[in-house]
Chains A and B, each alone.
Chain A
Amino acid sequence: MCGISGIIYKTAQKAGSAPVGRDLIVMLEAMTHRGKDSSGVTVAGEDTLGGLIVRLWIQDSEWGTDLLNSVESAVRAVDGEVTSRDSRGGFLRLGVDSDVDISRLAGLLISITGVELHSIGRSSEVIKDVGTPFEMDLRHQVTEIHGTHGIGHVRMATESRVDISHAHPFWAYPFPDITVVHNGQLTNYHRLRRSYEDRGHRFQTQNDSEIIAVYLADKLTAGATLKNALEDSLEELDGTFTYLVSTQDSLGFAKDKWSAKPLVTMETNEIVALASEEIALSAVMNTDIDRAEPQENEVMTWSL
């Protein structure tokens, strides 16, 4: 069991204008009975003044001078420049000026020993940590981050380790801004992963959910619309799933053919909120608004 949530301010006029970080934390905290192993969010639609946000993490270590030098030389190697730097424990958030080869930058960063890349986004970032959403917020001040949309997750681990690497959301390495949170288990993960690895895709964890992000990125790169990619996944992913995806300008969900994992949606003229349980929606929205429970084989997308 896990809890997932998402929100999009459809009519947001400009980047960074809505309290997305706060909304996600409030929704997730209301669902901690669905999982307390780890928490995570993607806040998207941040105002980055045209730059990139890079989120890195290193296990059992801090960001000393040598490591930071390695990271900065990776950015310089793709003709980029570090415009801001914020490290907390093993976490590092970098601002990088844009127009760099993101795929190459990602490759250089994860080749630094011990470094994991949580996300690269033009306007989004992944923040994830062990513990509850409130604990994560105390450490990372997620509630202060504004954007236009985002997704979040509380995890009760079933398929892989409990640690920061295996917390959601998962970023679709190396495609900027595409991230996924998932509730369920994928049974054709190993077969799919082998086929993606044969085609050169990289995976950073042993978590079955990571493949959804890679799967969607692969489809979108091949020219599919987000909605088509979600629809295809109903057939091509096997197992139980309700997952949410956040891209640079959209939010979407897909629910499996068994209708095995819950999702409740609420929509107003301005906002769409999604969560595993209504208890999370009532924590951030007026509960008089009609909610709907999507059924099997259902997908929906919303864009800014």
Chain B
Amino acid sequence: MVTLDASNFTTRELNRRVREAIRDDPDQHITIINPRARHNLAVAINNHSRVVIKGSVGYFAASQMDGPEVEIEGNAGWALAENMMDGKVVVSGDAGASVAATIRGGEVYVGGNAGARAGISMKGGQLIVRGNTGFMTGFMMQKGRIIVCGDVGDAAGDSMYEGEIYVSGEVGSLGSDAKIELVTEDELAAVWSALELHGINERRSFKKIVSEKKLYHYDTLERFEKAVI
């Protein structure tokens, strides 16, 4: 158990100390106090570990990481968990715009609401939002799953390629090339069990937003792909 007081360090030094503590003990528990909404906290952690941040964080918190569990007791600014390869990020309050941007694996859970472009360009993994998400949720999403227990804003699923956005509340409007599909029983069960892990036990109904696949020419192969065939 290591406690780091963020007010004593530059962000670079704080992140270096986090990585150092984990390097020597991969099961390390680290607590960061006094984050005061600073940017780039707990970034680039590439080992298994558990980091608890007591307070709100700024932009790019817990970004560029592969493996750890990060818990934020407060709010997060823009681009929380951006580009995560694997791991788990839980924020108790709200998350700003572009939460879980381009993640390739792992899970991001937002206890409050998330801002615009939630799950933008996701390439895998899962984003769960207990409240609402804003404009252009799942914009250009390529893989993975977004679950929103509240409402999503306008232009939901705009230009998405693959993946699914499950919405329990209202959909403001659909974006370009997005459509609503019926949810199968298996899918609904999977969504419910994902929510149960966060203590959400109500059996809500969900609609599913997927790509209509008219915007992109999926039958056109890349040059190297043609060479392979």
Contact = CB atoms under 8 A, between A and B. Distances in A.
A279 interface: yes
A143 interface: no
In this complex, the member of A257, A278, A283 whose beta carbon has the largest number of chain B beta carbons within 10 angstroms is A278
Nearest to A280: B37
Interface in B207-229: none
B58 A259 contact: no
A33 B39 contact: yes
Given A287-B56, A295-B134, A278 B153 contact: no
Interface string B86-121: 000000011011000000000000000101110000
Contacts of A293: 94, 96-97, 113, 115
B115 A278 contact: no
A287 B6 CA distance: 15
B77 A259 contact: no
Nearest to A283: B36
Contacts of B161: none
B157 interface: no
Contacts of B38: 279
B126 interface: no
B206 interface: no
B75 interface: yes
A264 B58 CA distance: 11
A291 B11 CA distance: 23
Interface string B55-70: 1101100000000000
A18 B164 CA distance: 51
Nearest to B134: A295
Contact of A277 (B59, B93, B135, B153): B59
A262 interface: yes
B75 A278 contact: yes
Size range of the chain B interface in the assembly: 20 to 34
Nearest to A293: B115
Contact of B97 (A33, A257, A259, A283): A259
A281 B37 contact: yes
A47 interface: no
A296 B153 contact: yes
A287 B37 contact: yes
A225 interface: no
Interface in A244-296: 257-259, 262, 264, 277-279, 281-283, 287, 290-293, 295-296
Interface residues of A, number: 19
Contacts of B153: 295-296
Contacts of A282: 36-37, 56
Nearest to B113: A293
Interface string B121-146: 00000000000001110000000000
Max chain A C-beta neighbours (<10 A), residue from B37, B56, B96, B117: B37
B78 interface: yes
Contacts of B74: 287
A293 B75 CA distance: 10
A279 B116 CA distance: 19
Nearest to B136: A259
Contacts of A287: 36-37, 55-56, 74
B154 interface: yes
Contact of B134 (A33, A259, A264, A292): A259
A284 to B, nearest CB: 12
Interface in B157-215: none
Nearest to B133: A295
Contacts of B134: 259, 295-296
B75 A262 contact: no
Contacts of B117: 259
Given A258-B135, A259-B116, A259-B134, A291 B36 contact: no
Contact of A279 (B39, B93, B97, B154): B39
A282 B56 CA distance: 9
B56 A277 contact: no
Interface in B1-40: 36-39
B54 to A, nearest CB: 11
A110 to B, nearest CB: 40
A277 to B, nearest CB: 6
Given A259-B135, A287-B56, A296-B135, A279 B115 contact: no
23 contacts: A259-B115, A259-B134, A262-B77, A262-B96, A262-B97, A264-B96, A277-B59, A278-B58, A278-B75, A278-B77, A281-B37, A282-B56, A283-B36, A287-B74, A290-B93, A291-B94, A293-B94, A293-B96, A293-B115, A295-B116, A295-B135, A296-B116, A296-B135
Given A258-B135, A287-B36, A295-B153, 9 more contacts: A262-B78, A278-B37, A292-B94, A293-B94, A293-B96, A293-B113, A293-B115, A296-B116, A296-B153
